[in-house]
């Protein structure tokens, strides 16, 4: 870690220890984080880390971004998700593919955290196979009319803008384009999904689009480029999810060690029992492995080298290891790990989704397998 990265980590951790960790269970129970904290994270620069200063970013590198995501994941994955979807998934697409006007319109607000953005790829019938998505965008004079439904969209009900992927051409990935759709446009409706296992503090919604009119200038990138744009974004997003998982694991380690030192049974602290130490040793070792995989992928991005397979490996390993770590942490806490007075069960519930979204573990294995063998197991043409 460089001095700058270490300083950022210390400032971030001090803020999150003070403002997020003491309140995360309350937010989890009421299914909503405090919006004031999101605004404060914007002021502290969490949303703009890898963005140029001209848009209000700090021009930091991707390792710095991974450190920020780890700290957010250690504190509360719901908060991490709000930041990483808005600035990481949606914002980075606008930076990479947006026109001058699109960047001017959306990036300053996204970097400041005053505008939230979301990423609308998944549909009710197309999750792992987004290349087949059914939402349509039909040309109407100088506009497009978008109609369809998006599913499980993080931030949607809180966002001002969504990157919507819709079909402008024939079947398959090459018929998909991306659009910047203001969520207050006539014809847009969102519906919050409640009762999630984890990530309860962040809003996840369905988006309904009925003849939503956007000007042709709202298209992001070229017509037919939408699928590549989505994959570009998800590759980077996987590093962010992986980093968030490292944060979950670091939190599990810290809390498990503290509890094992404080709690006594048989007249000795739990930490003195070798079988308890064994669980803690596994969490500690897997945390280090996951962090190294995440940082390798982040460093490759910073060097401008190919990183997609490394991002998949980081996400695959870190997400599955986070579930193992959180499960072990519940075990270290015993019965107290099963109730929400202690953080172990929240880490486990939050970790569980990490193997599902931004490409399930099976999809990561297919991507890694394709890179290793040169043979695609995907059925979608061109996926
Ligand atoms: C809390 C939450 C937040 C989310 N946020 C967003 C968001 O912001 N934007 C967005 O666009 N999406 C979002 N998603 C959607 C998420 O990315 C999808 O749920 C995910 O891609 C899986 O799709 P699915 O749920 O339709 O499962 P399916 O694709 O139906 O998969 C079900 C099972 O089948 C397996 N499977 C599918 N295809 C194959 C195959 N070819 N080979 C082997 N196994 C296969 C999967 O691995 C999985 O185990 C979110 C989901 C959740 C739960």
The domain that contains 358 carries what CATH number? 1.20.140.10
Rg over CA atoms, the chain: 21
- Mark whether 169 and 238 lie in a shared domain: no
Give the nearest ligand 1 atom to 358 CA: 17
Give the nearest ligand 1 atom to 154 CA: 8
- Mark whether 284 and 151 lie in a shared domain: no
Instruction: List b or e across 162-193, with b for residues whose CB sees 16 or more CB atoms inside 10 angstroms.
Output: bbbbbbbeeeebebbbbbbbebeeeebebeee
Give the nearest ligand 1 atom to 199 CA: 1
- Mark whether 67 and 183 lie in a shared domain: no
- Domain range for 150: 118-224
Give nearest CA residue, ligand 1 atom 38: 128
335: CA distance to ligand 1 center in Å?
A: 32
Question: Can you give the pTM of this predicted structure?
Answer: 0.97
Position 379 in a domain: no
Position 382 in a domain: no
Q: Mean of the pLDDT values across residues 94-123?
A: 98
Quick one: pLDDT at residue 377?
84
Position 189 in a domain: yes
123: CA distance to ligand 1 center in Å?
A: 10
Q: Mean of the pLDDT values across residues 1-29?
A: 95
Tens digit of each residue's pLDDT (9 = 90 or more) over 47-60: 999 999 999 999 99
Position 70 in a domain: yes
- Mark whether 233 and 352 lie in a shared domain: yes
Quick one: pLDDT at residue 7?
92
Average pLDDT of the chain to the nearest whole number: 96
Position 157 in a domain: yes
CATH code at position 202:
2.40.110.10
* Confidence class for position 382, pLDDT limits 50, 70, 90: very low
- Mark whether 220 and 283 lie in a shared domain: no
Single residue among 93, 116, 139 that ends a domain in this structure: 116
* Confidence class for position 383, pLDDT limits 50, 70, 90: very low
Tens digit of each residue's pLDDT (9 = 90 or more) over 75-91: 999 999 999 999 999 99
Single residue among 173, 194, 224 that ends a domain in this structure: 224
Quick one: pLDDT at residue 379?
58
Tens digit of each residue's pLDDT (9 = 90 or more) over 127-174: 999 999 999 999 999 999 999 999 999 999 999 999 999 999 999 999
For residues 359 and 24, give the distance between their C-alpha atoms in angstroms, rounded to a whole number.
Answer: 26
* Confidence class for position 374, pLDDT limits 50, 70, 90: very high
Quick one: pLDDT at residue 343?
96
Single residue among 224, 248, 280 that ends a domain in this structure: 224
Measured in degrees and rounded to the nearest 5, phi and psi for residue 34 equal -75, 125
Q: Reply yes or no on whether the pLDDT at 191 is more than 60.
A: yes
Give nearest CA residue, ligand 1 atom 27: 127
- Mark whether 40 and 99 lie in a shared domain: yes
82: CA distance to ligand 1 center in Å?
A: 18
* Confidence class for position 381, pLDDT limits 50, 70, 90: very low
- Mark whether 134 and 112 lie in a shared domain: no
- Mark whether 312 and 239 lie in a shared domain: yes
Domains of the chain: total: 3
Q: Which residues are catalytic?
A: 358
Number of alpha carbons in the 13 Å side-chain half-sphere of residue 78: 28
Position 82 in a domain: yes
Give the nearest ligand 1 atom to 129 CA: 29
Quick one: pLDDT at residue 380?
54
Percent pLDDT > 70 in the chain is 99
Position 381 in a domain: no
Q: Per the structure block, which two tokens stand in for 208?
A: 């309904």
Contact 107, 116 (CB under 8 A): no
Position 235 in a domain: yes
Mutate to test the pocket of ligand 1, among 120, 122, 359 (most ligand atoms within 8 A of CB): 122
Question: What are the strands, taking DSSP E only, across the chain?
Answer: 117-120, 136-140, 143-154, 161-167, 176-182, 188-192, 204-215, 219-220, 264-265, 268-269
Pocket of ligand 1 (CB under 6 A): 85, 118-122, 127-128, 152-154, 196, 199, 204, 353, 356-358, 360, 362-363, 366
- Mark whether 287 and 254 lie in a shared domain: yes
- Mark whether 166 and 254 lie in a shared domain: no
- Mark whether 242 and 302 lie in a shared domain: yes
CATH code at position 49:
1.10.540.10
For residues 110 and 53, give the distance between their C-alpha atoms in angstroms, rounded to a whole number.
Answer: 13
Tens digit of each residue's pLDDT (9 = 90 or more) over 314-366: 999 999 999 999 999 999 999 999 999 999 999 999 999 999 999 999 999 99
- Mark whether 168 and 104 lie in a shared domain: no
75: CA distance to ligand 1 center in Å?
A: 25
């Amino acid at each position: 870690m460089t001095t700058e990265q270490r300083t950022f980590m210390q400032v971030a951790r001090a803020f999150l220890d003070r403002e997020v960790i003491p309140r995360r269970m309350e937010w989890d129970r009421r299914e909503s984080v405090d919006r004031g904290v999101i605004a404060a994270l914007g002021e502290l620069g969490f949303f703009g880390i890898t963005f140029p200063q001209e848009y209000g970013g700090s021009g930091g590198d991707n390792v710095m971004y991974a450190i920020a995501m780890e700290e957010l994941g250690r504190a509360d994955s719901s908060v991490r998700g709000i930041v990483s979807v808005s600035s990481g998934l949606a914002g980075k697409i606008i930076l990479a593919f947006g026109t001058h006007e699109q960047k001017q319109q959306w990036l300053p607000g996204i970097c400041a955290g005053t505008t939230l953005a979301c990423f609308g790829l998944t549909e009710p019938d197309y999750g792992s196979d987004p290349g087949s998505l059914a939402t349509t965008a039909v040309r109407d004079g100088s506009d497009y009319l978008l109609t369809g439904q998006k599913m499980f969209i993080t931030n949607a009900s809180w966002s001002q803008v969504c990157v919507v992927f819709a079909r402008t051409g024939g079947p398959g990935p090459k018929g998909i384009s991306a659009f910047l759709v203001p969520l207050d446009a006539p014809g847009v409706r969102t519906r919050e999904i409640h009762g999630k296992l984890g990530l309860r503090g962040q809003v996840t919604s369905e988006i309904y689009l009925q003849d939503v009119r956007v000007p042709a200038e709202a298209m992001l990138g070229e017509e037919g480029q939408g699928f590549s744009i989505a994959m570009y974004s998800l590759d980077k997003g996987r590093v962010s999810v992986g980093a968030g998982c490292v944060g979950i694991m670091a939190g599990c380690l810290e809390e498990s060690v503290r509890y094992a030192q404080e709690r006594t049974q048989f007249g000795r602290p739990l930490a003195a029992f070798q079988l308890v130490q064994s669980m803690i040793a596994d969490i500690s070792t897997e945390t280090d492995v996951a962090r190294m995989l995440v940082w390798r992928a982040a460093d490759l991005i910073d060097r401008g080298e190919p990183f997609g397979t490394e991002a998949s490996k980081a996400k695959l390993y870190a997400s599955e290891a986070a579930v193992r770590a959180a499960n072990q942490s519940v075990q270290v806490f015993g019965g107290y790990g099963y109730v929400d007075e202690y953080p172990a069960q929240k880490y486990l519930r939050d970790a569980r989704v990490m193997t599902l979204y931004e490409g399930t573990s099976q999809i990561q294995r297919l991507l890694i397998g394709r890179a290793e063998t040169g043979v695609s197991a995907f059925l979608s043409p061109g996926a």
